[in-house]
Amino acid sequence: MEQKKPTDMDQEKVIEIKGLYKSFGTYDVLKGVDLDLHKRENLVVLGKSGTGKSVLIKIIVGLLTPDLGAVKVLGQLVDEISYKELLALRLKVGFSFQNSALYDSMTVRQNLEFPLVRNQRNLTKGEVNIAVERVLDAVGLLQTINQMPSELSGGQRKRVGIARTLILQPEVMLYDEPTAGLDPITCLEINNLINEVQERFHTSSIVITHDLTCAKAVGNRVAMLLDGKFERQGTFDEVFNTDDERVKPFYEYNFIQ
């Protein structure tokens, strides 16, 4: 499979992270993280379990507070804005959960209507219908609009979860293990969808994954979290063209076994 080529993305930074530290008790997770996300870029974050990838995402959206360092999202310092401003900022940042996080008691339509009606109460029923059908069509699942989540496959639930995130038209997308638990064919479909979302909705995205096939397919740039820092960043080939014993097993597990 070919490596995704870098885009002609704007050099404007939509996320800037400088000197970020986070510990839990005596356990140091992030040890001086520096990372930027550029406009219209897909940035893949790699790392072993427990290296702090999910902690990083939670800090970006203000669910956790850093011990030291600065996190700026869409021009705002996350730990310095008011709670009201933080809530407004979160509407511009879409989070695609690993388990899709759909409400089992709601139809696909109702799952997509819920965040829209809750956050944009002035919309007419017709406007809501148009928005729901638009994002479902974008993920190729308009035909599931009246189905329950239990009637969908794992890949379909993942797509509906992405559609529900897109319905608020976020500027930034955060994908948490988007291909976890899916078969190889469905993984390819999700990879293609992430790229389609970038092109169609002009999003800037951080993709957390263990799946190097996903990383290679969707990442304009790859950053590997090693020992609490991003010590390797670049294209997929640049990151893995190394004899670093911390990196080689990661590649070999995904591609050689």
Give pLDDT, residue 6.
67
The C-alpha angle 200, 202, 205, rounded to 5 degrees, equals: 115
Q: What is the mean pLDDT of the chain?
A: 90
Q: Provide the pLDDT for residue 231.
A: 85
Q: What's the CA gap between 40 and 202, in Å, rounded?
A: 6
Cα(24)–Cα(85) distance, rounded to whole angstroms?
A: 27
pLDDT of residue 122: 83
Q: What is the DSSP string of 78-99?
A: TTTS-HHHHHHHHTTEEEE-TT
Residue 249 has pLDDT above 60, yes or no: yes
Q: What number is the average pLDDT over the span 141-161?
A: 94
Mean pLDDT of 108-114: 95
pLDDT at 253: 64
Phi, psi of 10 (to 5 degrees): -60, 140
Q: Which CATH class is domain 44-62+92-255?
A: alpha beta
Q: How confident is the model at residue 51 (pLDDT cuts 50, 70, 90)?
A: confident
Task: Report in angstroms the alpha-carbon separations of 78 from 38, 84, 170, 191, 247.
Answer: 17, 12, 17, 29, 32
pTM: 0.90
Q: What tokens does 52 get? A: 């702090």
Average pLDDT over residues 1-16: 75
